[in-house]
């Protein structure tokens, strides 16, 4: 289906939610996966993280605050996201500024995670060198015994929110004449819609 300006919603979040739902319904593997691109004093870096919804229009995700991505975002708050759903021929790119979410919000989300994921977050010093996988698995077992009920949220773990400056929607078309629509935030807080060359 062509992506036309005349049919596009004024609110980019309406279109994003529609495309995410379509990807889910079409059976896209891990439709909430997104590439997070950052840049720090070690240079640019990208990795996959999970989209965890919106907070007042900000894209939410969670990570270890000692990780490479965390160091990058402390160095340079600018970051980019990419969602790609091959099954629906859609891509969404997002660029904006990142900030940490409040500790209470991170703890609320952590409490909803499966116990195994909680223990893994507590056990892992993300991006640090490990002696072996066995050492990591032993640490998880030790923590499971130490916390038989509630697992505390690690102090070095929590949420990030990316506030978009622009959101671009890409739809595959024949002969590589793809559709690209970009929503950019005006100083008034409203969105400007533009078509980009494929």
* pTM to 2 decimal places: 0.92
Average pLDDT over residues 178-190: 95
Domain interval for residue 191: 12-112+155-195
109 touches 67 (CB < 8 A): no
87-114 tens-digit pLDDT: 999 999 999 999 999 999 999 999 999 9
**What's the pLDDT score for residue 198?**
93
Query: Is residue 32 in a domain?
Result: yes
Do the domain assignments include residue 143? no
Cα 181 to the center of its chain, rounded Å: 21
Q: Is residue 71 a part of any domain in this protein?
A: yes
Residue 132 belongs to some domain of the structure: no
What pLDDT band is residue 1 in, cutting at 50, 70 and 90? low
CATH assignment of the domain containing 92: 2.30.110.10
State residue 154's pLDDT score.
94
- Per cent of the chain over pLDDT 70 is 99
Give Cβ neighbours of residue 39 (< 8 Å, ≥ 6 apart). 45, 72, 75, 76, 78
Task: Band the pLDDT of 2: cuts 50, 70, 90.
Answer: low
Q: How many domains does the chain have?
A: 1
> Taking residues 43-69, what's their average pLDDT?
96
Q: What is the mean pLDDT of the chain?
A: 95
Query: Do the domain assignments include residue 80?
Result: yes
Q: What is the dihedral of CA 157, 159, 165, 167, to 10 degrees?
A: 110
Q: Which of 176, 180, 192, 195 is catalytic?
A: 176
Question: Is 176 known to be catalytic?
Answer: yes
């Amino acid at each position: 289906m062509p992506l036309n300006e005349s049919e596009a919603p004024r609110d980019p979040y309406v279109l994003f939610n529609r495309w995410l739902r379509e990807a889910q319904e079409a059976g896209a593997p891990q439709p909430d996966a997104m590439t997070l691109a950052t840049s720090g004093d070690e240079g640019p870096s990208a990795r996959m993280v999970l989209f965890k919804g919106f907070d007042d229009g900000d894209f939410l995700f969670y990570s270890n605050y000692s990780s490479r991505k965390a160091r990058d975002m402390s160095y340079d708050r600018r970051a980019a996201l990419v969602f790609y759903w091959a099954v629906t021929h859609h891509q969404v790119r997002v660029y904006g500024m990142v900030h940490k979410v409040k500790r209470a919000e991170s703890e609320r989300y952590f409490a909803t995670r499966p116990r195994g994921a909680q223990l893994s977050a507590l056990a892992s010093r993300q991006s640090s060198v490990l002696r072996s996988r066995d050492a990591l698995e032993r640490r998880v077992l030790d923590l499971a015994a130490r916390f038989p009920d509630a697992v505390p949220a690690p102090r070095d773990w929590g949420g990030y929110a990316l506030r978009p400056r622009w959101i671009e929607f890409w739809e595959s078309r024949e002969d590589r004449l793809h559709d690209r629509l970009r929503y950019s935030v005006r100083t008034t807080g409203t969105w400007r819609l533009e078509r980009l060359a494929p």
